[in-house]
A and B are shown apart, each in its own frame.
Chain A
Amino acid sequence: MTKGKCFFRWYVLLTKRLLRRPAYLAVLFLIPLFALSLRFFSQSGDVALSVALVLEEPVSPSAEAAAMRLEERSLINAVRMDNAEHAREELKAGRVEAVWLLHSELEEQYVRFARRGRAKAVTVWQREENVLLSLAREKLFAALYPELSFALFEDYLDKELKAPLPESDELRRYYFSGTTDERILRFETPEGKELDKDQPVLTAPLRGVLAVLLTLCGMASGLYCYADEREGRFVWLSVRARRYMPLLSHLTAMLPAALMVWAALLLSGTARNAPGELLLLLGYLPSAALFCELLRCLCPREEHYGALIPIWIAAMLLLCPVFLDLRLLMPLRELLPPTRYLAAVWSGAQRWKLLWYTAALLPPTALAMWLRQTKRGR
C-alpha cells in the first residue's frame, strides 16, 4: 500500500478523533452560526454613531434638504426627533452621541456666515469631544453645504463683485449648471477591484476573527500533541514519522474548521469569490500549522504553551488588521499568520508573499522539531 493511502487513512482517523469531541464539534457548529447571526443583525443596518436631528420650527427648506441628506443610509445615523428637549434627554440617556439642532431661518444664517464667517446655523450638544464626532460634523457640513455654498456664491457676486443680481432662478441656473446627481466617487482597491461601499460594518472583522480562530485551532491541537507524546500514542511509528505527527495533528484540527470558515464567509456575504476564498484558506493552513508547531517546539512544557495561547490570541486580535489597522509593532505583526492571510485577500502580490512566508517557516520549524525530538531522547 502506498504511503499516500496510509497518510490519508491516518488523516481520516485523526479527524474522526477530533469530531468525537463535543467541544470541537461545538466550535465547528458555532462558526457558521456566528456568521449567519451577524448577517441577520446587519440587515437592520449598521451605524458607527447615532445623532439626534431636530429641525426648529418653522422648518426652512434648507433645513429640510439638509435633514434629508443626513437621513440617507450612512454609518452616521441621524434620527429625526420632534423637539430639542426630547433629543437632549436621549443624549443624557446615552442613546445618542450628539444632538444637531438646525435652527429656523437657516438661509439667513448662511448669509450671515458668508459675510462674517460666523453664524449659529446649528446648535450641537454632545457629552464629549472625540474623533468620531468630529468626523460626523464633516458629514453635517456636507449636508448643509449645497445651500451654504449657494449663499456664498450669491454673497460674493453681490457684495464683492457688486454685480447686479438677476432673478433667483437665473442665478441658480449659473450656480447649478455644472452639478450632477451621479456618484462622483468610485471606490476601488489599489489592485483595481471595485469595493462594495455597503459592506456591513458588523461582518467586516469576521474574516480576520476567523483567521485567528483557525490559528487557534492549530494551537489547541498542539495541546493534544503534548498528551500524545506523554502517553506514547505514536510509539509504533518510525522516528521520522513521529516527528511529523504534530503537523498532521494541526492540519486535522484546522481543515474541518477551515471548511466551516469558508461556509461562514459565504453565509455572511463577506466572501468575494467562493472557489478563490477556499483556495486562499487552504493556502493559509500550512503557514498557520507551521507557526503553531514552531511555537510548540519552543515550549518544552505543556503548561507554558497553554499559558501563552491567550497572549498569542490577544496579540493577533490587536496587531493584525482584524478590527482596526493600528500598525503597531510592525515587525511582529508581519510575522503573524493572520496578517499574511488578510493581506493576501486583497492582493495577488501578497498571495505570493503568503507562499514565501510559508516556505520561510519551514527551516526554523523543521530545526525546532528536530531539536525537540533529540532533546527528548529520540
Chain B
Amino acid sequence: MEAEIRNIHKKYARKEVLCGASFRAVSGSCVGILGANGTGKSTLLRVLAGAARAERGEFLWDGEDLLKNSALRRKTVAYVPQGTPLIEELSARDNLRLWYEPEVLERSLAEGMLRELGVNEFLNTVAGRLSGGMRKRLSIGCAIAREPAILLLDEPTAALDMPGKDRILRYLDGFQRAGGLVLMASHDPWELALCDAWQMLRGGVLEPYAYTGDRETLMRDLETP
C-alpha cells in the first residue's frame, strides 16, 4: 500500500511553515525526515497525525484522504510526539489501560507488541518514576493500541542511552518488516541509518535526500538554506 503526502500547507500566525510539502512512501519502508531546527518537521508529523490542521493538502493512504477521514486515520496512524504524553501519577499499566481494551492489553503484554517493547518490565511502576527509555517505550506502546499501519515518530530515541535506543530501533525495524510504514523526524545517525529513504525539509518543502551516513556532509546540507 502506498502513502502519498500531497501539497501540505500550514501556517502559524502569518508565518508559513509548510509550503506544499509532498512525498510518497510505501508500506514496509522507513522514511527519515531531516531538517534544521525550526523547519517544521514536528509540524508536518502533527498535521499527518491529525493533531494540527493544515490549510490545505492531502494525506492519501490507499486512495483515502486520512486528513478528511478521521476515523480511518485513527485506526491507521499512530503518532509518538517528542515528549512523552503520559499521565505521571498513574502506573505504566494504568496508562496503557487508557488506550487498550482489557483483553487486548493482556494479549499484547503476553505475546504481542507490548511484549516486544519490553513494557512488562515496569508495568507497575508509576510513569513519573520511569527512566527516559522506559517512558518512550511506554509512549510507543500507548500509541500503537489500535495496531496501526503507519507510525509517525518525532525523534523517538532523543536523550536515550544506547541500550534504550537499540531497543526502540529494533522494535521499529520489526514493525517495518511486518509491513508497517514508519515516518520518522530525526537528527540521530542511528535513527537515520534505519531508514530506507530520506526527505530533507527546507523552506517548507520536502526534497528527496541521499543520506550517506557522513556527518559533515549532513551538517553542511542542514545549514544550507
B52 touches A236 (CB 8 A): no
Residues of B within 8 A of A377 (CB): 12, 52-53
Partner of B85, one of A10, A18, A231: A231
B89 touches A1 (CB 8 A): no
Question: A123 on the interface (CB 8 Å rule)?
Answer: no
Residues of B within 8 A of A17 (CB): 87, 89-90
B: contact size bracket: 20 to 34
Partner of A16, one of B52, B71, B90: B90
CB A232 to nearest CB in B, in angstroms, measures 5
B99 touches A236 (CB 8 A): yes
Question: A272 on the interface (CB 8 Å rule)?
Answer: no
Residues of B within 8 A of A374 (CB): 53
Partner of A232, one of B12, B78, B81: B81
Which residues 81-123 in B have Cβ within 8 Å of A in the complex?
81, 83, 85-87, 89-90, 94, 97-99, 101
Report how far A235 CA is from B87 CA in the complex, Å: 12
Closest A residue by C-beta to B73: A238
A235 touches B85 (CB 8 A): yes
Partner of A235, one of B51, B90, B97: B51
Contact A21/B89 with A235-B51, A236-B99, A378-B52 known, Cβ cut-off 8 Å: yes
CB A273 to nearest CB in B, in angstroms, measures 37
Please, what's the 1-or-0 string for A249-267, where 1 marks a CB less than 8 Å from any CB in chain B? 0000000000000000000
Residues of A within 8 A of B53 (CB): 374, 377-378
Report how far A1 CA is from B49 CA in the complex, Å: 24
Question: A95 on the interface (CB 8 Å rule)?
Answer: no
Question: A304 on the interface (CB 8 Å rule)?
Answer: no
Report how far A121 CA is from B69 CA in the complex, Å: 90
Which residues 48-90 in B have Cβ within 8 Å of A in the complex?
49-53, 70-71, 74, 78-79, 81, 83, 85-87, 89-90
Report how far A205 CA is from B98 CA in the complex, Å: 40
Closest A residue by C-beta to B128: A20
A378 touches B50 (CB 8 A): yes
Which residues 220-274 in A have Cβ within 8 Å of B in the complex?
231-236, 238-239
Question: A120 on the interface (CB 8 Å rule)?
Answer: no
Which residues 11-39 in A have Cβ within 8 Å of B in the complex?
13-14, 16-18, 20-21
Question: A73 on the interface (CB 8 Å rule)?
Answer: no
Residues of B within 8 A of A238 (CB): 70-71, 74
Closest B residue by C-beta to A377: B52
Report how far A16 CA is from B99 CA in the complex, Å: 16
Report how far A345 CA is from B79 CA in the complex, Å: 49
Report how far A24 CA is from B99 CA in the complex, Å: 25
Closest B residue by C-beta to A240: B70
A236 touches B142 (CB 8 A): yes
Q: How many A-B residue pairs have CB under 8 A?
A: 57
Question: B143 on the interface (CB 8 Å rule)?
Answer: yes
Residues of B within 8 A of A21 (CB): 89
Contact A233/B87 with A16-B94, A238-B74 known, Cβ cut-off 8 Å: yes
Residues of B within 8 A of A20 (CB): 89-90, 126
Partner of B81, one of A13, A16, A235, A378: A235
Question: B145 on the interface (CB 8 Å rule)?
Answer: yes
Partner of A239, one of B50, B87, B99: B50
Residues of A within 8 A of B145 (CB): 236
Residues of A within 8 A of B98 (CB): 9-10, 13
B89 touches A232 (CB 8 A): no
B97 touches A236 (CB 8 A): no
Contact A233/B85 with A239-B50, A378-B52 known, Cβ cut-off 8 Å: yes
Closest B residue by C-beta to A6: B101
Residues of A within 8 A of B97 (CB): 9, 13
B79 touches A239 (CB 8 A): no
Residues of B within 8 A of A13 (CB): 87, 90, 94, 97-98
Report how far A13 CA is from B71 CA in the complex, Å: 24
Partner of A236, one of B90, B94, B101, B143: B143
Report how far A238 CA is from B101 CA in the complex, Å: 16
Which residues 1-36 in B have Cβ within 8 Å of A in the complex?
12
Report how far A92 CA is from B143 CA in the complex, Å: 73
Residues of A within 8 A of B99 (CB): 236
Please, what's the 1-or-0 string for A104-117, where 1 marks a CB less than 8 Å from any CB in chain B? 00000000000000
Which residues 141-158 in A have Cβ within 8 Å of B in the complex?
none
Report how far A233 CA is from B90 CA in the complex, Å: 13
Residues of A within 8 A of B71 (CB): 238
CB A341 to nearest CB in B, in angstroms, measures 30
Contact A232/B70 with A13-B98, A16-B90 known, Cβ cut-off 8 Å: no
Known: A17-B90, A235-B81, A378-B51. 17 other contacts (CB 8 A): A9-B97, A10-B98, A13-B87, A13-B94, A16-B94, A17-B87, A231-B85, A233-B86, A235-B49, A235-B51, A235-B85, A236-B85, A236-B99, A236-B143, A238-B70, A239-B50, A378-B52
Q: List 30 A-B contacts (CB under 8 A).
A: A1-B101, A9-B97, A9-B98, A10-B98, A13-B87, A13-B90, A13-B94, A13-B97, A17-B87, A20-B89, A20-B90, A20-B126, A231-B83, A232-B51, A232-B81, A233-B85, A233-B86, A234-B85, A235-B49, A235-B81, A236-B74, A236-B79, A236-B143, A236-B145, A238-B70, A238-B71, A238-B74, A377-B53, A378-B51, A378-B52
Which A-B residue pairs are the 7 nearest by beta carbons? A20-B89, A233-B85, A377-B52, A232-B85, A17-B89, A235-B51, A1-B101
